[in-house]
Structure 1
Amino acid sequence: MSTLTFAEKIAQAENFLPINGTDYIEFYVGNAKQAAHYYKTAFGFQSVAYAGPETGVRDRASYVLQQGKIRLVLTSGLKSDSPICEHAKKHGDGVKVLALWVDDAYKAFEETTKRGGKPYLEPQTLTDEFGEVRMSGIYTYGETVHMFVERKNYSGAFMPGYVKWESEYNPSEVGLLYVDHCVGNVDWDRMLPTVEWYKKVMGFVNILS
């Protein structure tokens, strides 16, 4: 049995992938507009940004909500055979992307892929009149993805490709502040390999089991 303190365990983490926090969590859902209304009404999230056919996006509609430091992206596919719709059919409404806020999205991709991370999105820079957002991504357990988001040079509502979502309906916030933790449900006998993956690829340490 380990006798290390919590602080000692944290100190063992390799810092090749500095993470500032959660940037956003993206759900693939059957009806993004309806889901956005639900999260606003039930949990007090506020309207932030939108992307869809009206903004030049042809394959999806995405609504961005925020409360405190929690940012949700609710996305629906616009074609029944799209990967987004297939994901929702297979799993129901659920998380596809856990995006992490980093200082250098390009370096985050380099460090994780050279340690065995499978590429999902090659590093790219998105730009508009509000500046730039740099992004990259890797696959994690199942069909879930980690995106690395660098937005220190961006002042827009969310990121390039989205427009500010002006809505008269914004119920009062309920006091949600930030994402405390995330739980990943993995296949049978995949718990330990997944823990080892996070240690090796992303530099995490196991603090509780």
Structure 2
Amino acid sequence: MDIQGIDHIELFVGDARQAAFYFDRAVGFELRGQGGPETGLAGQRSLLLGQGEIRMLLTTGLTGGHPAARYVRRHGDGVAVIALAVDDAAAAYAELVRRGAAPVTPPSTFTGADTEVVTAEVAGVGDVRHRLVSRRGDPAQFLPGAVAVTPPRGDGGRLLVDIDHLAICVPPGRLAGTVGHYRDVFGFAEVFAERVEVAGQAMNSTVVRSPSGRVTLVLLEPDRSHRPGQLDAFLQQHAGAGVQHLALRTDDIVTAVAALAARGVRFAGTPASYYDALQARVGPVDAPLERLRDLGVLVDRDHAGQLLQIFTESVHVRRTLFLELIERRGARSFGSGNIRALYEAKERELAAAGEGRTVAAPTSQEVRA
């Protein structure tokens, strides 16, 4: 079984048209297709958006019993499906079930002119599913006969290029079992693990990656022997495990952040003093420091290079799912050095203001694990 990459992601949302309006007008996606009862998608309305190599399906249940409606009632808007591109979806489904994956939807075939798409689904983490997708023929035909293709307005946009990773939060005590599931069932490898402690909070994280290197999941677990933090808040507000954030890669984060901010995207704030120690911590940065400060872009480094990143504020009523923009300049890690750096910057800022007191860790709007 060869997992080649992420074919698409599907968000279950309360209002697909409203969600599409935000991703179109603010984040730069464009409508590439749509489907509903008139195309054979019973009980749902789905809108397909795209930008660069990213495909995002937004689905709203039109009846109370539809899986999307049940998901939204329990979790709010969120990533419900991570679709994996494979060479043979039916064979991959059979192999995953044999290895212990819980079956959800058996293989289905969608056909069009010189095009065939086969899909099947197995369970992932919590209520997140993995849809296996194999394609033959025209790649623009997303689901022939079910999602009608919409002619693109332009070149699809290039501010955001592809999906770098997805961060999934699991309850305390579930991290090791989840890592083992992706290793033993999906064939992913554990490529990075760490524990972060700061300001009385603690979290464990493990990164698993497909053999192709094209699917990366960052698995996060809070340590409840320490003070509750943003991961605990996510688990409570989301009612269990799920995708905490979606990281979208860009080749030019300064241009992308400036453009998205001009369109109304709100980004998490960064203390100004964070940048006072930036070059001492990560070395010279190939971007104007003042421009990074103005935009709030964070910088971290590892043995392979630097990465630049920033997080959006959540637009969802439960304050759960948010986006990350990331530009990799050789770095292979995920910016964990920014957690402590942001906390220390906040302390310096308060000390300079003469507060002279111990402060709590940055809020979830100031630092994203």
TM-score (norm 2): 0.49
2:121 match = 137
Greater relative contact order: 1 or 2 (C-alpha under 8 angstroms, separation 6 or more)?
1
Structure 1 residues 152, 175: CA separation in 2 closer, same or farther (over 3 Å shift)? same
Specify the code of the residue in structure 1 equivalent to 2:83.
A
Q: Deviations over 1:108-146 (max 9, x none)?
A: 112211110111111222213352101111101101100
Q: Deviations over 1:166-197 (max 9, x none)?
A: 587x8983610000011121122111000000
2:24 match = 40
2:189 match = 205
- Whether 1:59 and 2:56 are equivalent positions in the alignment is no
1:177 corresponds to which of 149, 161, 167: 161
**Structure 2 contact 115–136 (Cα < 8 Å) conserved:** no
Structure 1 residues 74, 130: CA separation in 2 closer, same or farther (over 3 Å shift)? farther
Shift of 1:155: 4.7
1:149 match = 133
Shift of 1:84: 1.3
Q: Distance in 2 between matches of 1:114 and 1:34?
A: 40
**Structure 2 contact 51–156 (Cα < 8 Å) conserved:** no
Structure 1 residues 121, 191: CA separation in 2 closer, same or farther (over 3 Å shift)? same
Specify the code of the residue in structure 1 equivalent to 2:29.
F
Q: Distance in 1 between matches of 2:68 and 2:17?
A: 15
1:162 corresponds to which of 139, 147, 163: 147
Q: Which moved more, 1:124-133 or 1:171-180?
A: 171-180
1:72 match = 56
Specify the code of the residue in structure 1 equivalent to 2:44.
R
Shift of 1:45: 0.5
Structure 1 residues 78, 178: CA separation in 2 closer, same or farther (over 3 Å shift)? same
Shift of 1:86: 1.7
2:86 corresponds to which of 96, 102, 106: 102
1:49 match = 33
Specify the code of the residue in structure 2 equivalent to 1:173.
G
1:6 match = none
Q: Distance in 1 between matches of 2:98 and 2:65?
A: 33
Q: Distance in 1 between matches of 2:35 and 2:132?
A: 20
Runs of 5+ unmatched residues, structure 2: 194-369
Q: Distance in 1 between matches of 2:7 and 2:174?
A: 27
Q: Which moved more, 1:24-33 or 1:104-113?
A: 104-113
Structure 1 residues 78, 167: CA separation in 2 closer, same or farther (over 3 Å shift)? farther
Q: Which one has the largest radius of gyration?
A: 2
SS in 2 for 1:158: coil
SS in 2 for 1:181: strand
Specify the code of the residue in structure 2 equivalent to 1:194.
T
**Structure 1 contact 65–72 (Cα < 8 Å) conserved:** yes
Shift of 1:92: 0.8
Q: Deviations over 1:90-112 (max 9, x none)?
A: 11100110001111112211221
SS in 2 for 1:207: strand
Q: Distance in 2 between matches of 1:58 and 1:111?
A: 29
Alignment length, in residue pairs?
192
2:238 match = none
SS in 2 for 1:187: coil
Q: Distance in 2 between matches of 1:172 and 1:79?
A: 32
Higher strand share: 2
Q: Deviations over 1:150-179 (max 9, x none)?
A: 0123455311211123587x8983610000
SS in 1 for 2:26: helix
Specify the code of the residue in structure 1 equivalent to 2:147.
Y
TM-score (norm 1): 0.85
Shift of 1:61: 0.2
2:220 match = none
Q: Distance in 1 between matches of 2:101 and 2:3?
A: 16
Q: Distance in 2 between matches of 1:27 and 1:180?
A: 17
**Structure 1 contact 130–155 (Cα < 8 Å) conserved:** no
SS in 1 for 2:190: coil
Runs of 5+ unmatched residues, structure 1: 1-16
**Structure 1 contact 98–145 (Cα < 8 Å) conserved:** yes
Kindly report the root-mean-square deviation, in angstroms, between the aligned alpha carbons of the 2 structures: 1.9
